[in-house]
Amino acid sequence: MGFTIKDIAYIAKLARLELSEDEIEQFSSELSKVVDYFNQLALFEEEEKEIKTLPSVLERDDNISVSLSQEIVLSLFPSRIDNFLVVPKVRKEE
């Protein structure tokens, strides 16, 4: 499967990755190879039909378990004010 330069630029944008033109070039062939590799799974299509559908998801009862201690949570934040994590201003509207 061929990825165009445009595809790569778009995917990079969605993934918030800043790529140079050289990198975009490089990834367009590399990513194609990765996806081609997955295409091999299509070969198992016939056998897949015989595999029974996955068991249903397991459900748990609505019982409360202990949350993380405040100390641990706050230590995960690179920057904070009071109990809040601080992030650069989100653009609310243009």
Partner 1 sequence: MEFNITIGLEVHVQLKTATKIFCGCKYFFGATPNTLVCPVCLGLPGALPVLNKKAVDLAIKIALSLGAQIQERSVFARKNYFYPDLPKGYQISQFEYPLAIGGELPLTDNPKKKIRIKRLHLEEDAGKLLHELPGGIKSSDSLVDFNRCGVPLVEIVTEPDISSPQEANDFLQTLHQMLIYTQTSEASLEKGSLRCDANVSISPSHSSKLGVKTEIKNLNSFKFLQKALEYEIDRQVEVIRSGGQVIQETRRFDARTGKTYPMRTKEEAHDYRYFPEPDLPPLEITNQRIKEIAMTLPELPWQKRTRFVNHYSMTYNDAVILTSFRELAIYCENVLRKAGKIEHKKIVNWLKTEFIKELRNYKDFKYAPSEANLVKLLQLIETGRISHTAAKEIFEKMWGNNTKDPEQLAKEMKLLQIKDTTTIEEWVNEVISSYPQQIEDYRKGKKKIIGFLIGKVMKLSGGQADPRLVRELLSKKLNSN
- Is 35 a binder of partner 1 (CB under 8 A)? no
39 binds partner 1 (CB under 8 A): no
Q: Give the three-state DSSP class for 62.
A: coil
Q: Work out whether 42 is an interface residue with partner 1 (CB under 8 A).
A: no
H or E element in which residue 27 lies:
helix 21-39
Measured CA to CA, the distance from residue 26 to residue 74 in angstroms comes to: 40
Binding-site member from 20, 39, 40, 56 for partner 1 (CB under 8 A): 56
In the complex, the smallest distance separating the C-beta of residue 91 from partner 1, rounded to whole angstroms, is 8
Sort residue 12 into left (φ over 0), alpha (ψ -120 to 50) or beta: alpha
| Residues lying near partner 1 in the complex (CB under 8 A) | 14, 16, 53-68, 70, 73-74, 76-77, 81-90, 92-94
